[in-house]
Amino acid sequence: MSFRTPEELFSHAYENRYCVGAFNVFSLESMMAVMEAAENTCSPAVIQVSSGAEKYVKNVKAFVRTIRDFGKDYKAPFFIQHDHIKGVEACFKAIDDGFDAVMFDGSRLPYEENVASTIEVVKRAHEKGVWVEAELGAIAGFEDFVYGENTVYTDPDQAMEFIEKTGCDALAISVGTAHGGVRADDYLPLERDLLLKITGMKKGYPFVLHGAASLPPELITKCNETGMDVEYLRICSEENILFAARNGILKANMDVDNFLCFTTAARRTMIDKPAVYDPRKYLEPARDAFRTEVEHKMRNVLDSAGRYL
Ligand code: G3H
Ligand code: ZN
């Protein structure tokens, strides 16, 4: 993959009306899955590392170097971002660890504190040429479960003021998605009017959608057929994410669907071939399933396929 700056990727996405997918990776398999998907579909990508993945890989600096090194063999453009960081000091560490971009998530802080902390992060990041994504409003997530309980939609005027005051390079907004799903009877409604209002107020600015996977029930069923007991949680439909991708959301974070496909494929292989214990024999189909899911997102949900030939 050829390294590109976030500015280059997002202005290309804006001009051509599509969205850049951001995918969390935690191992060689997941990293290769995203890179191969980007290469196969001629899409750009953001390779992300979450705080959980940072703990998992133990030496995140070396992992970032590995991602960059592996990426050199692919033509598809990318950059490397640290996803959700709740503290200013941890952001400083990620900047020093070699990330091209960091996300400071102050969404659960009182507004003025979120502004003040984001300013601190932006100052240090920009001195080192690192891009900063911030968040305003709160989206529901794993720990909340009931939709609406902890959701605070982003206020459009406050969002403009926040960007102006902090100088953040990208802003995650809350318009109906949820992290990892919540308990509901159907797909969650995306607040299309609110989204259009916000993206229309600052055209070409990188607004970001988190919780942009869709947890199609069929994927959960396939996983549960391997003996898992995954709860049928809900997020926004792929149709709604595609709407967002075509209407000014320039970056979308989507993970849980890829994780489900990875686990299903590994377990299916173990069930079908119970004598096989070589880890490569089940990690390879798992990696392929992750890649196929990311390719699907790039082609059908982000509309980013074929943008880099
Ligand atoms: O930051 C990560 C994302 O927001 C992923 O959420 O897997 O629920 O789409 P998701
Ligand atoms: Zn997120």
Q: Please, what are the domains in the chain? A: 6-301 (3.20.20.70)
- Whether 253 lines ligand 1, by a CB cut-off of 6 Å, is yes
Which single residue is written with the structure tokens 């990620």? 94
Which ligand sits nearest to residue 21's alpha carbon? 1
Q: How far is the CA of 40 from the centre of ligand 1 (A)?
A: 23
To test the pocket of ligand 1, the residue of 105, 188, 253, 262 to mutate (highest count of ligand atoms within 8 Å of its CB) is 253
CA-based angle 258:199:156, to the nearest 5?
110
- Whether 256 lines ligand 1, by a CB cut-off of 6 Å, is yes
pTM confidence score:
0.97
Measured from the CA of 180, which atom of ligand 1 is nearest?
Answer: 8
The helix or strand, by DSSP H or E, that contains position 135, with its residue range, turns out to be strand 131-136
Measured from the CA of 213, which atom of ligand 1 is nearest?
Answer: 9
- Whether 174 lines ligand 1, by a CB cut-off of 6 Å, is no
Q: How far is the CA of 181 from the centre of ligand 1 (A)?
A: 9
Measured from the CA of 256, which atom of ligand 1 is nearest?
Answer: 7
Contact partners, residue 130, CB within 8 Å, separation at least 6 = 95, 99, 100, 101, 102
Average pLDDT over residues 192-220: 98
Whether residue 37 has pLDDT greater than 60: yes
Whether residue 145 has pLDDT greater than 60: no
At 1, the pLDDT band (50, 70, 90 cuts) reads low
Is there a contact between 122 and 132 (Cβ–Cβ < 8 Å)? yes
Q: How far apart are CA 181 and CA 144, in angstroms?
A: 9
Whether residue 4 has pLDDT greater than 80: no
Q: Which residue owns the Cα nearest ligand 1 atom 6?
A: 211
pLDDT of residue 309: 66
Which ligand sits nearest to residue 260's alpha carbon? 1
- Whether 22 lines ligand 1, by a CB cut-off of 6 Å, is no
Instruction: Write out the E strands in the chain.
Output: 2-3, 20-24, 45-49, 77-85, 101-104, 131-136, 170-173, 207-209, 249-253
- In 3-state terms, what secondary structure has residue 179? coil
Average pLDDT over residues 13-39: 97
- Whether 105 lines ligand 1, by a CB cut-off of 6 Å, is no
For the chain, the average pLDDT equals 95
pLDDT digits (tens, 9 = 90+) for 81-102: 999 999 999 999 999 999 999 9
Measured from the CA of 235, which atom of ligand 1 is nearest?
Answer: 8
Of residues 192, 177, 182, the one with CA closest to residue 137:
177
How many other C-beta atoms lie within 10 A of the C-beta of residue 3?
13
